[in-house]
Amino acid sequence: MKTVALDQNKWVEVAIAWTRQEVNPSERDKLFNLVNLANSGAVRFPLAFTNIYETMKISDASRRSQIAYVQAALSKGAVFVGRKQQRQKEVKDLLRRYFKMPRVEEEQDWYVSYRFWEAAVPTDDLDLGVNMSVELSTLVNTKPAEALYSYLTDTDNATRARSVREYSAGVGEVLARIEKRQKLCRQYNPSMRRRVLSVHMFMENQDHFWKAADDLGLPVEKFRDGEDSMKRDLIRSVPCLFIERELALKIEAEDTKITENDVRDILFMSTTLPYADVVVAEKPFTQRARQAGLHKKYSTAITSELSDLTSLCRA
C-alpha cells in the first residue's frame, strides 16, 4: 500500500474540488481520481498533526466541515503518529544499533494510527481525567473516519480556541528561537551553520534522548560517555530531527522573514517524509526538500501537483 501525505493547502484544494465538482469537470476529475485511489485499497492518505491543527483553526463552521469531510473520507481516519512517538521510536532504534541491543520486532506500519489523537499524543500518555467511555472507544475502533470528523466539527468553540491558542504559543517560542539563531549565524558559512544548529538541536532535545536511554535500561554512565559520533548521530541519523535541521538551514539561509507557517511546514515534512511514498506540498517546500536531497535519502517522491498522484502511485 502506498502512503501519500498532503499538506494543508492540498487538502484545501481537494475540498474546493469537492464543492465545485458539479460545475467544473476538471475539479470533478481531480476529486474522483483521489477517491478512486483511496478506495482501491492500494493508496492511503493519513493526516499529519498539522493538518488536524489547521482544520481546527478554521473558525467558519461550514468551511471547517467541508475540509474535515474530505479529510475524514479520504484518510478513512488514518493519521501519522505524532512527533513525540516518532522521535522516541527513531532515537531508540539508533541507540539499539549503537549499543548492540536486541532489536524489537514492531509492526511495519507503526507510524500510522487510526486513533486521531495519536497524531499528537500517544494513547499511553493520554490523560483525560476520566476513563474513556465504551461508546467512544467503540466508535473510534470501528468507525475511525466518523470519529475524526466528529472531533474536527463537533468540538466546542471554547475548547477548540484554547487548543489552537496553546499550540500557536508553542510554535511562537520555536519561531523566536529560529529568528535568534538566524541573526546569530548569518555571518557563518553553511558548514558552520549546520554545526551550530546541530548543537542547538541536541540541547533542545537532550531530555528526550535521556528518556529514550532510560526506557531502554541503558546505564547513565554508558549513555553519557558514548562516543561523539553517537551524539552527532542523534541528529543526523534520526529522520525527524535530520529533516528538521536540513529544512531549517534552507530557510534560515534565505533573506526572508520566517513565519509560523514555515515552522508548521517543517513539522509536516519531518513527520511525513521518512515514511510516505509521496508527499504533496507547496512549491517552496518541495523545492527546499529536493535541494536538501531529502527525496533521495528517504526514497520519497515529492511534488506540488495533485495531478501527479496517479503516475507516482503506480511507480
Per-residue model confidence as pLDDT tens digits over 96-142: 999 999 888 878 899 999 999 999 888 777 665 556 677 777 888 89
| Span 30-88, pLDDT tens digits | 888 899 999 999 999 999 999 999 999 999 999 999 999 999 999 999 999 999 999 99
Chain centre to alpha carbon of residue 123: 17
Predicted local distance difference test score (pLDDT) of residue 175: 80
* Mean predicted confidence (pLDDT) in 287-313: 94
Average model confidence (pLDDT) across the chain: 90
Predicted local distance difference test score (pLDDT) of residue 257: 79
- Whether 25 shows a pLDDT value over 90: the answer reads no
- For the chain, give the percent of residues with pLDDT over 70: 97
Determine the structural domain holding residue 134 and report its residue range: 2-314
Nearest alpha carbon to residue 213 among 81, 123, 101, 121: 101
Considering only 126-135, 193-202, 288-297, which range has the smallest mean pLDDT? 126-135
Total structural domains within the chain: 1
Distances from the Cα of 203 to the Cα of 86, 94, 181, 232, angstroms: 19, 18, 14, 12
Predicted local distance difference test score (pLDDT) of residue 168: 82
Nearest alpha carbon to residue 240 among 212, 271, 266: 271
